[in-house]
Structure 1
Amino acid sequence: MAATDPRISPSRWTFGVLIVFTMFGFGFGNWLARIPAVRDRLDASTFEMSVIGLTLAAGSLLGLVFAGRTVTWLGPRQSILYGALGQALFMPLGATLLWFGMPIPGMLALACFGFFFSTSDVAMNVSGAAAERALGKSRMPILHGGYSFGGVSAMGVGALAEMLQIPVPVHLGAVFLLIIAGILFAIRSIPRVEPGEMPAEPVPVNTNTGPIQLLANPAAETAPQKPTSYNPWRDPRIIVIGFVAMSLSLTEGTATDWLPLALADHRGFSNSAAALALGVFFVAMLSTRAAGSWLIERFGRVWILRASAMTAGASIVLINVLPFSWAAYVCAGLWGVGSALGFPIGVSAAADDPQKAVRGVATVSAIAYAAFLLGPMAIGLLGEHLGLLNAFLPLVAFLIFVVFAAGAAREPGRQAGRTTTG
């Protein structure tokens, strides 16, 4: 990257970004874990809680609209830091206002949290994509696995806080103090980019004092970046990648929101048995992300995207067709495997051109997150008329699209049909 600290190695950089992903997943997961307590405190209906959730989502989408320019202006490192500070201010504030019966100011605070959260999300994905370019190996699935691990860990912490009857404002205040400490530690391992500069592609440079090292592009050190009129919304490749990531994010979000209820309503599962199926989904997704870097290096993005779409599509069809309880757990696992790598691959592909990485990642994130946040609501409405299991079937059309459109995400220089890193 331009203007980076040469003492920060690519592996250290990647580890720092991994901590950031984990911290932000942990923070958001703790909020999700305490939503039932907030609902009980407000004595709110399901609709009222949906409005609160939509307010946070609206703030997130607004943040994504401006994230490209924000991260370009501040640089990924500073955007991560300021985003974390904003989250640490507005999440405990919003929870406190809701806790003391002030829903409108509380919702506004949550919208601000969403704005800072989505800005941080784009920044950490841009930095992660640049780190894996510098490292020369795929690491985005592991980074997103860190986010998933943070979220899963937060469920345990939230359950403990619920058992100890810790008030939500106290719980979230303590959590975000911990997150700020983790972020301050992590950004020491993330190179600094001057405001307005873009990540530059690392190139091998042979020195007289040692072996070949990955250093910044000399041109990036001597020639300042000029403002660009590049608009990713007019870039067909970025839009296709965005819809590929959207399709698999929609598949993931649908399972997260509706799979337990569908099994309880249409397969006669108890609430605990249905929740266990969702646990299988999460474990499968986390395990796949842990192995994702090796899989992508071995087989390439295109093959993995197509295999993911076919796996997820088969699981959705089979969960409708097979009436056996054990089959639902198998299908939940396959669904998790198929959903795990779409968004990480989309982010990596959007960042292939380092000069367009920030805005490309912001655009792909906006498309994918819009589907992740709003798509499951459409599935729920469809489920009112068709039943939830049948409402899952239209997802197969999106997954068929992925099979045919996956080529847009192919790595630069990788030949079609190549399945090894040779």
Structure 2
Amino acid sequence: MPTLNKIRSALAGATGHRGRPPAASPRPDLRRFRITLTVFFALDGFLFAGWVVRIPAVKAQTGASSSALGLALLGVSAGAVATMMLTGRLCSRLGSQPVVLTCGLLLPLSVALPPLTRSALALGLVLLVFGAAYGGMSVALNSAAVDLIAALRRPVMPGFHAAFSLGGMLGAGLGGLVAGRLSPTRHLLLLAAAGLLLALLFARPLLRFPLEPARRERDGAEASGGTARAPGRARWLVAVLGLIALCTAYGEGALADWSALHLADDLGAGAGSAAAGYSVFAAAMTLGRLSGTTLVERLGPDRVLIAGGALGCCGMLLGSLAPSVWLALAGFVLTGLGLANVFPIAIGRAGDLAGPGGVAAASTFGYGGILVGPVAIGFLADWFSLPTALLTVAVLAAFASLTAWATRRAVLPHG
């Protein structure tokens, strides 16, 4: 019996497990914890989007030039990257839930700081704090999600990222509605109060459910034979998964910053149609993530990764080279559907292999993509053209697909 239990535990620990588990349904406490974690994912996206839509107002308030604002905005990514590995170690030592709650309280507090600044330097400094809380929240949430997935024995990571996307869409929509009525200070202070209240309301169900990441990691070591080479091999596989995540995040960052400009300047779109570029991409990503668990269960994570990267490549080829606005928008939709589940699967599997440290490492790679993508597109657009620069999104999506195919047996052994 002990041997059988170990085998079952090892099989359950992989997010790549295909097919529905033999268990009839999750326990009520698992369902409650899943709802709680979903709320925190949505809160993460909601607060971040609330800040993003007020960037123009904060820019005007600080009197920052475009270049100064760009440097200040790097504080978000810099703060996130600097904090992620530390957060992974804290999750390993203290457990994911206390870190989720701590970041869930710090993030609303930090989102209220940017509109209080009056210079680009001060803005950059407070965005370091905001980025640190945001990056810590991301790692802690994904680490907790990996542990819950092991308990549920279902690959539900895409659903959590869909909640983040839905929270972001809600935050952006609400921000657009109140932008003409509330100053950025009042708006973000209200968001901070709402975020704190929500985090406190769900603090008890978050902390009551026992997750044991150390046990999962020991089971993974036993399943791999417990050899001395296993940790080094796990680090290599986490790096591969992080590279795949980077390719997806590069595309997200590039389309967030450059899709509207491509539609307006290269294809002559009006203001409304140009603004729809990122909207349709984000909506497609949300839809893809909502269906992600079903896709992974039916097809396996390896096929979803490979096909997703390939579809993202084809979609971005169409989006970059299309001669009309509507064809370009169709390309953005295909890109969003293709890339939707690549990041969640990569992060989830990194957590399977190396626990919170794996989540932190792969997330750091991903944020590197978000950081590098818009900047690289800008330089390439100056040297060549914006459509040519956007083709790098297609190239990296194809690279992610080929990498997933080449390493599918090692990275996703249950696919």
Give the TM interval when normalised to the shorter protein: 0.7 to 0.9
Paired AA for residue 63 in structure 1? T
Matches of 1:17 and 1:130 in 2, distance apart?
Answer: 11
Q: Given the alignment, which residue of 182, 207, 215 partners 1:200?
A: 215
Matches of 2:70 and 2:230 in 1, distance apart?
Answer: 37
C-alpha deviation, 1:229, in angstroms: 12
Higher helix share: 2
Identify if the C-alpha distance between structure 1 residues 109 and 229 changes in structure 2 by more than 3 Å, giving closer, same or farther.
farther
Matches of 1:325 and 1:161 in 2, distance apart?
Answer: 29
Query: Residue 323 of structure 2: SS of its match in structure 1?
Result: coil
Identify if the C-alpha distance between structure 1 residues 160 and 230 changes in structure 2 by more than 3 Å, giving closer, same or farther.
farther
C-alpha deviation, 1:44, in angstroms: 2.1
Matches of 1:232 and 1:118 in 2, distance apart?
Answer: 25
Contact 2:308–2:339 (CA under 8 A) maintained in structure 1: yes
C-alpha deviation, 1:331, in angstroms: 0.7
Q: Given the alignment, which residue of 106, 111, 116 partners 1:91?
A: 111
Paired AA for residue 296 in structure 1? V
Contact 2:248–2:369 (CA under 8 A) maintained in structure 1: no
Matched, 1:74 2:117: no
C-alpha deviation, 1:409, in angstroms: 6.0
C-alpha deviation, 1:53, in angstroms: 0.4
Matched, 1:185 2:205: no
C-alpha deviation, 1:373, in angstroms: 2.0
Query: Residue 163 of structure 1: SS of its match in structure 2?
Result: coil
Q: Deviations over 1:285-322 (max 9, x none)?
A: 11111111101111011111111111111122223433
Identify if the C-alpha distance between structure 1 residues 71 and 95 changes in structure 2 by more than 3 Å, giving closer, same or farther.
farther
C-alpha deviation, 1:381, in angstroms: 1.0
Structure 2 counterpart of 1:222? none
Identify the range of structure 1 (132-141 vs 29-38) with the bigger mean alpha-carbon deviation.
132-141
Structure 1 counterpart of 2:383? 385
Query: Residue 44 of structure 1: SS of its match in structure 2?
Result: coil
* Root mean square deviation, CA, Å: 2.7
Q: Given the alignment, which residue of 41, 45, 49 partners 1:21?
A: 41
Q: Given the alignment, which residue of 60, 68, 75 partners 1:48?
A: 68
Give unpaired runs (5+ residues) of structure 2. 1-8, 10-25, 220-227
Identify if the C-alpha distance between structure 1 residues 298 and 370 changes in structure 2 by more than 3 Å, giving closer, same or farther.
same
Q: In the TM superposition, what are the counterparts of 1:22-421 in structure 2 within 5 Å?
A: 22-96=42-116, 98=117, 101-164=118-181, 166-191=182-207, 198-201=213-216, 235-353=235-353, 356-407=354-405, 408=407, 414=414
Identify if the C-alpha distance between structure 1 residues 189 and 398 changes in structure 2 by more than 3 Å, giving closer, same or farther.
same
Q: Deviations over 1:21-51 (max 9, x none)?
A: 0001101110001111111222322112111
Contact 1:94–1:108 (CA under 8 A) maintained in structure 2: no
Contact 1:10–1:132 (CA under 8 A) maintained in structure 2: no
C-alpha deviation, 1:232, in angstroms: 7.3
Paired AA for residue 130 in structure 1? D
C-alpha deviation, 1:186, in angstroms: 2.7
Contact 1:232–1:359 (CA under 8 A) maintained in structure 2: no
Paired AA for residue 249 in structure 1? A
Query: Residue 289 of structure 1: SS of its match in structure 2?
Result: helix
C-alpha deviation, 1:283, in angstroms: 1.2
Paired AA for residue 367 in structure 1? F
What number of residue pairs does the alignment pair up?
A: 381
Matches of 1:332 and 1:45 in 2, distance apart?
Answer: 30
Q: Percent identity?
A: 28
Identify if the C-alpha distance between structure 1 residues 273 and 182 changes in structure 2 by more than 3 Å, giving closer, same or farther.
same
Paired AA for residue 414 in structure 1? H
Q: TM-score, normalised by structure 1?
A: 0.84
Identify if the C-alpha distance between structure 1 residues 106 and 276 changes in structure 2 by more than 3 Å, giving closer, same or farther.
closer
Q: Deviations over 1:243-276 (max 9, x none)?
A: 1111111122211111111111111111211111
Matches of 2:121 and 2:308 in 1, distance apart?
Answer: 41
Q: Deviations over 1:150-201 (max 9, x none)?
A: 111111211122121x121221111111112222233333355899x73534
Paired AA for residue 46 in structure 1? S
Contact 1:244–1:342 (CA under 8 A) maintained in structure 2: yes
Contact 2:92–2:213 (CA under 8 A) maintained in structure 1: yes
Identify if the C-alpha distance between structure 1 residues 199 and 291 changes in structure 2 by more than 3 Å, giving closer, same or farther.
farther
Matches of 2:372 and 2:401 in 1, distance apart?
Answer: 23
Contact 1:24–1:179 (CA under 8 A) maintained in structure 2: no
Paired AA for residue 120 in structure 1? M
Identify if the C-alpha distance between structure 1 residues 232 and 73 changes in structure 2 by more than 3 Å, giving closer, same or farther.
farther
Q: Deviations over 1:106-152 (max 9, x none)?
A: 43222112112111110000111111221111111110011111111
Identify if the C-alpha distance between structure 1 residues 151 and 284 changes in structure 2 by more than 3 Å, giving closer, same or farther.
same
Identify if the C-alpha distance between structure 1 residues 324 and 148 changes in structure 2 by more than 3 Å, giving closer, same or farther.
same
Contact 2:29–2:209 (CA under 8 A) maintained in structure 1: no
Contact 2:74–2:124 (CA under 8 A) maintained in structure 1: no
